[in-house]
Amino acid sequence: MDTAAITAYIELNPQVRFGKPVVRGTRTTVAEVLEMLANGMSAADIAEDFPAIGAAQVRACLLYAAYRESIVLQAAA
């Protein structure tokens, strides 16, 4: 998966969840997906609870977070 997946699966819309990054077509934020993963849910568990969010969307959330982290680290250097 490359960075193009971010725009394919993640969107920023000021009218949805105050502009926080969300999984495209849902109101589920990237942070919520990351929190579910941190709490031990697998991508399959998330897909079971949220049918609109599959493994590709979960990977895109992880990629988005990794990309954002690298931007912050580069800016601080």
Residue 2 has what pLDDT?
75
CATH number of 4-76: 1.10.10.10
Q: Is residue 77's pLDDT more than 60?
A: no
The number of C-alpha atoms within 13 Å of 8 and in the hemisphere containing its C-beta is 13
What are the C-alpha distances in Å from 52 to residues 2, 38, 43, 46? 21, 20, 12, 9
pLDDT in tens, 8-50: 999 999 999 999 999 999 999 999 999 999 999 999 999 999 9
Residue 3 has what pLDDT?
77
Mean pLDDT over 55-70 rounds to 92
Residue 12 has what pLDDT?
94
